[in-house]
Amino acid sequence: MPVSHATPPQSAAGPGIEALRGQDPEMAEIIGAESARQASTLQLIAAENFASPAVLAALGSPLVNKYAEGYPGARHHGGCEIVDLAERTAADRARALFGAEHANVQPHSGSSAVLAAYAALLRPGDTVLAMALPAGGHLTHGSPANFSGRWFDFVGYGVDPESGLLDMDQVRALARTHRPKALVCGSISYPRHLDYAAFREIADEVGAHLIADAAHPLGLVAGRVAPSPVPYADLVCGTTHKVLRGPRGGLLLCGAQFAERVDRAVFPFTQGGAQMNSVAAKAVAFGEAARPEFASYARQVVANARALAACLAEEGLTVITGGTDTHLVLADPAPLGIEGRAARTRLAAAGLVVDTCALPHPETRGLRLGTAALTTQGMREPETALIGRLFAAVLRGERDARTAREEIGELTAYFPPYGGSPADGGG
Ligand SMILES: Cc1ncc(COP(=O)(O)O)c(C=O)c1O
C-alpha cells in the first residue's frame, strides 16, 4: 500500500462548479463525472497531467472575455492595457525559464506552434526531414492526414529496429541526400534525450533550419532534468500542458533574429485573437515551473518513469530502448501474450489509462506510458512499482478488472489529484 508522503495540490473545484450546477446541471454532471474519472483511475497517458488550481483559476477568469489581436502595445482592439500586462508577464517568464531571447506565448496548441514555425521558415513544397510517424514523429511531422504532409515534402528518419535508438548516421545520410530546408527533431514517444548538438551540426552541414518540437520534454527542460534545445535550434516549439503542467496550449521560443518572423507567423498568419485567459494561465504555469519545487517534481517524474520501466521489464514486458531518460516509457506487452490494442482495452477496464503507440518493429503496437500525472498526485517509486506489478498482473489475466479498480481506488484515495475526495468533482 502507499508509503510515499502525498502533498497534492488543494482542491480545484472552486465556486465556479457550484454556479454551473445551478444553471446547467447537465453539463455540471458531465464535468463532475470526468473529474471523478480522472481522480479514481490512473492517468498514465504520457501527454497528460493535472494543472494546478492556480492555472485552472486563470483559465476560468474573465480574461476569457477579452479580444486581443496583435501583440502587447500593438493591438487591433481597445482596452488591452491589462491583458498586455498578462502577455508581457507570460513572455518574460517563458524567456527567463528557458533562457530564450524571444518567446511567443499565443499558439493555441502544440500543433499551432508547429504550423507557425513552418510558416516562419518554409514555403509550401519545401523538403523537411523529421522523425517518421511510425518511429514516433507527430502528425505535424509529415502525416498525409495533416497540413504538414499535404503542404510540405517530408522525408522521415527512423530508429534502429533492434535498439529503438535514433541513428544519427541515418539522419545525416538522409540530410545529405535530400538537402531539406528544415530538420525537425522531436517525438511523441522517444524516451531518451535527444542530442541537439548533433542535430544542429547536421542542419548546418546541409544548410537547413533546425526546428525542435520539444512538446514532450519541455517540462523536463524547465525542471533542469533534460537538455535544452534552446541553444541549438532556430525555433523551439512546445506545449504548455504535458510535464510542464500548465494549460492546454502552445509556445514558441527563438533567438532575437527570428522574433519578428515568428510573431507574424502566429498572428496574423495562422491565428486570430490570442486567448488571454490561456496566456495568463501559461504565465502562472511558468511561474510555478521556475520554483525549486518544480525541479524536485521533474526529478521525481524521471525517477518514477525509471522505476516503472524497471518494474515492467522485471515483469517480462519488452521495454523499448531498455529504459528511459524522461517521463516516457515505451513497452511491448507481446511477451505476456497480448497485443498493444487489446492491452489498452484490458488496462482501461481495470482503471489504468494508457495509449498505444507504434513500435520500432512495426508488426504490432506497443504501449506508451508517462509518469507526469501520478507524480503530481504525490506518488513516488514504491507506488510506481506497485502500479507496474498491477499493470502486468492485469495483462496476464491474474487480476480481474474489479479487483484492480479496488486497488487503484485505494491508491488514488490516498493520492488525489486535487486534495479533495473523488466524489466532490475535485477538478
Ligand atoms: C511532439 C509533439 N508535437 C506536437 C504536439 C501537438 O500538440 P497539440 O495536441 O497541443 O496540438 C504534440 C502533442 O502531443 C507532440 O507530442
Parallel/antiparallel/unpaired status of strands 102-104 and 127-131: unpaired
- Position 427 scores a pLDDT of 32
Which band of pLDDT confidence, cut at 50, 70 and 90, is reported for residue 364? confident
Q: What is the pLDDT of residue 4?
A: 59
Dist. CA 86 → ligand 1 center (Å): 24
The correct answer on CATH 3.40.630.10 for the domain covering 59-289 is no
* Average confidence (pLDDT) over 92-104: 98
**Ligand 1 mutation target, pool 48, 108, 112, 140, most atoms within 8 A of CB:** 140
The grid cell for 291 is 520554483
Ligand 1 centroid to 130 CA: how many Å?
14
Active-site residue, from 242, 245, 261, 368: 242
pLDDT value at 422 more than 50 = no
Domain boundaries, the chain: 59-289, 292-424
Mutate to test the pocket of ligand 1, among 108, 131, 138 (most ligand atoms within 8 A of CB): 138
| pLDDT over 60 (residue 63) | yes
Residue 236: left (phi > 0), alpha (psi -120 to 50), or beta?
Answer: beta
Q: How many CA atoms lie within 13 A of 374 on its CB side?
A: 36
Per-residue pLDDT of 338-363, as tens digits, reads: 999 999 999 999 999 999 999 988 77
Is there an atom of ligand 1 within 6 Å of 186 CB? yes
- List, in sequence order, every residue forming a beta bridge with 252; answer none if it has no partner: 104, 237
Q: Closest by alpha carbon to 276, among 2, 58, 425, 98? A: 58
- Is 242 among the catalytic positions? yes
Question: Residue 139: pLDDT above 50?
Answer: yes
pLDDT of res. 3: 52
pLDDT at 7: 45
Query: Which ligand 1 atom sits closest to the C-alpha of 187?
Result: 1
- pTM value? 0.94
Residue 293's pLDDT band, with cuts at 50, 70 and 90, is: very high
pLDDT of residue 11: 44
- The answer on whether 244 is annotated among ligand-binding residues is no
Report d(CA 377, CA 106) in Å as an integer. 29
Q: Is the pLDDT of residue 32 over 60?
A: yes
Is 367 within 8 Å of 333 (Cβ atoms)? yes
Task: Calculate mean pLDDT across residues 398-404.
Answer: 97
420 is in an annotated binding site: no
Task: Give the pLDDT confidence score for residue 419 in this predicted structure.
Answer: 75
356 labelled catalytic: no
Average pLDDT value for residue range 229-254? 98
Task: Round to whole Å and give the CA distance between 67 and 206.
Answer: 43
Average pLDDT over residues 380-400: 97
Q: With 50 as the cut, is the pLDDT of residue 148 above it?
A: yes
Strands (DSSP E) contained in 6-119 are: 42-43, 70-71, 74-75, 102-104
How much is the pLDDT for 299?
98
- What integer pLDDT is reported at residue 10 of this predicted model? 42
162-219 pLDDT, tens per residue?
A: 999 999 999 999 999 999 999 999 999 999 999 999 999 999 999 999 999 999 999 9
Pair 176, 148: CB distance under 8 Å = no
Separation between Cα atoms, residue 180 and residue 91, nearest integer Å: 31
Arithmetic mean of pLDDT, 34-45: 97
Nearest to 374 by CA among 364, 385, 366, 365: 385
Evaluate: CB of 215 within 6 angstroms of ligand 1.
yes
Q: Give the chain's mean pLDDT.
A: 94
The angle at the Cα of 4, spanning 47 to 375, to the nearest 5 degrees, equals 10
Eight-state DSSP code of residue 126: -
Q: Quote the CA–CA distance of 57 and 15 in Å, as a whole number.
A: 10
Residue 363, pLDDT score: 78
Question: How far apart are the C-alpha atoms of 304 and 323, rounded to whole Å?
Answer: 12
Average pLDDT over residues 97-112: 98
**Domain 292-424, CATH number (from 3.40.50.300, 3.30.70.100, 3.20.20.140, 3.90.1150.10):** 3.90.1150.10
pLDDT tens across 279-291, in order?
Answer: 999 999 999 999 9
Per-residue model confidence (pLDDT) at position 420: 53
Residue 110 vs residues 138, 239, 385: alpha-carbon distances, Å: 10, 5, 31
Q: Note the pLDDT of residue 35.
A: 94
Specify whether the CB–CB gap between 337 and 416 falls below 8 A: no
Whether 332 contacts 364, CB under 8 Å: yes
